[in-house]
Amino acid sequence: MKLDKYNKIIDKMSIPDDMDNRLKEYLLSDKKENKKITSKKLIKRFSIAVATMVLVLGVSQTSFVSTAASAIIHFFEYGFTFTENNGQETTINMKMNYLTLDKNTPMESMYMDSIDQVSDTIGIKLLNSTKEYKSNGFVEYYPSISNDNILAGIRIINNCYIIGDIKNISVTNRKSQDSKNMINYTVGENYKTPIGVQISIRTNENLTSKYQDNELGFVSENTNIDLDDNNKQSELYQIDNLGIKAVLFTTQTDGPIEWGLGDKNIDVTYAVFVYEGVEYVYFGGVSHNTMKEFLNTLK
Amino acid sequence: MNSGVNTQDFEEIYQKYKNTLYRIAFTYLKNNVDVEDVLQDVFLKRFYKSPKFKDEKHEKYWLIRITINLCKDTLRSFWNKNVKSIDELMESQEIIQWDFSEDEKYIFREVMSLPDKQKTVMYLYYYERYSCKEIAEILKCSESAVKMRLKKGRELLKINLEKEDFV
């Protein structure tokens, strides 16, 4: 391949006119503190991951401190609404509180070795399972920091949290901070992939509506989605250990890079709930029953 | 415009860097929706939170680095793990709008199939004409890492070398 051909291709890759106009208009406007969320972004964000989901996701309240309001709302709440097998419509609310973390909570992204290590670091006891797969550096810690260097929230992700009956596991350690640890494995009878976890904590109620650089959980802004209900696999599950209900559903996705699925989509079961103000999302190539067995190990 | 940002300054900076940053972001994200979000953030940071730059060269380095970091954040996002496949990309509106010839489409596909690190280094070296040393400074990695990524990229693409300063 000649260099001039490469350069000619790159020459053609210029910013489209419509994007150019929108960017200029936005950047020159006076309303930049609240980041504009375009309808395209909402559609893109949800259409791929929820193409076959059955839940209707409605956000009931997101407003925070308002100088004109007589009541100050101290939590971020959204809801899952879905139709159960008996035809009854059910709504379950997810209410995340604003938590105070240890004053030495890290303000930069890093890798940690376990959920307990994160708990010790931030001063909040997070749910953990006795089945946690212990391997160095799999836990990803992401703080969301505003432009004024205030912590808006944190996300903790481990895409290889539980390995279940997966076999022949080997770990390839990351070669740099930019890359990820990779796991090679043979699928088990019940686990086609590991179960991963995303834990989201909100820490500053003044920021959530203004700061939207990163996701601050399963839902980070007002949304209202109509979902395809032709593939209904959703249910509520009571986690007796914790005394709360989780929303379980299944959708098709290719999963995180660590699972090694490439472009292949498989059925992935999700479990979402809020416990003591913290949002937990578990996801894996497992059945609902296997997910329930796992949820019962959390404490 | 908000006070403190001169419209003329904005125009100048935006026009100067928009396509470079667009190309870098697109190689990572492969769709215009996410690219637009990232570019919004990059320019917001430039105008409201950037450090003082020694010179134009360092300003550009900073912008490139911020763009790459924001792209990586986007890719790491819970909902963005479903990255477009190469086949989907080749059928997308973004490709159609650029009106590539069949030959160009083939080359574009090969380039976009490279890992992100190699694509970025190839772009900075062959199109932006930075040296390996400069690329290392931009990406905050070693010069030898840059050279290895270039070597690997070339092997994968079988490019005919025309730059003589690569060892």
- Name the A residues in 102-141 with CB < 8 Å from any B CB: 140
Model ipTM value: 0.85
Per-residue model confidence as pLDDT tens digits over A213-241: 344 555 544 333 333 333 447 778 999 99
Of A49, A246, A219, A258, residue with least CA distance to A139 = A258
Confidence band of B163 (pLDDT split at 50, 70, 90): very low
- Name the B residues in 119-148 with CB < 8 Å from any A CB: 122-123, 126-127, 141
The reported pLDDT for the residue numbered A177 is 61
Read off the amino acid at residue B63.
Answer: L
What span, in angstroms and rounded, lies between the C-alpha atoms of B142 and B149? Answer: 11
For residue B99, the chain A residue with the least C-alpha distance is A12
Residues of chain B above pLDDT 70, percent: 85
Q: CB distance from A68 to chain B under 8 Å?
A: no
Per-residue model confidence as pLDDT tens digits over A117-149: 999 999 999 999 999 998 888 898 988 777 677
Mean pLDDT of chain A: 73
Per-residue model confidence as pLDDT tens digits over A68-124: 222 233 345 566 666 666 666 666 777 778 888 888 899 888 889 999 999 999 999
Report field, pTM of the whole predicted structure over 0.80: no
The reported pLDDT for the residue numbered A51 is 27
Residues of A in contact with B72 (CB under 8 A): 178
Q: Residue A57 half-sphere exposure, CB side, CA atoms within 13 Å?
A: 21
What span, in angstroms and rounded, lies between the C-alpha atoms of B127 and B103? Answer: 19
Q: Output the six-digit token pair for A189.
A: 């009878």
Question: Which residue(s) pair with A90 in the sheet?
Answer: A82
User: Which residue of B70, B78, B118 to mutate against A (max A Cβ within 10 Å)?
Assistant: B78
Neighbours of B47 (CB within 10 A): 19
Mean pLDDT computed over B16-39:
92
Interface A:B, Cβ pairs < 8 A: 132
Residues of A in contact with B159 (CB under 8 A): 1-3, 6
Q: Output the six-digit token pair for A289.
A: 């029953």
DSSP calls for A144-169: EE-TTS-EEEEEEEEEEEE-TT-EEE
CB under 8 Å to B95, separation ≥6 — which residues? Answer: B89, B105, B108
Q: What's the per-residue H, E or C state across chain B?
A: CCCCCCHHHHHHHHHHHHHHHHHHHHHHHCCHHHHHHHHHHHHHHHHHCCCCCCCHHHHHHHHHHHHHHHHHHHHHCHHHCCCCCHHHHHCCHHHHHHCCCHHHHHHHHHHHCCCHHHHHHHHHHHHCCCCHHHHHHHHCCCHHHHHHHHHHHHHHHCCCCCCCCCC
Could A218 and B78 be called an inter-chain contact, meaning their C-beta atoms sit closer than 8 Å?
yes
Q: CB distance from B43 to chain A under 8 Å?
A: yes
Q: Which of A195-209, A269-283, B43-57 has the highest mean pLDDT?
A: A269-283
Residues of chain A above pLDDT 90, percent: 29
Q: CB distance from B50 to chain A under 8 Å?
A: no
Read off the amino acid at residue B42.
Answer: V
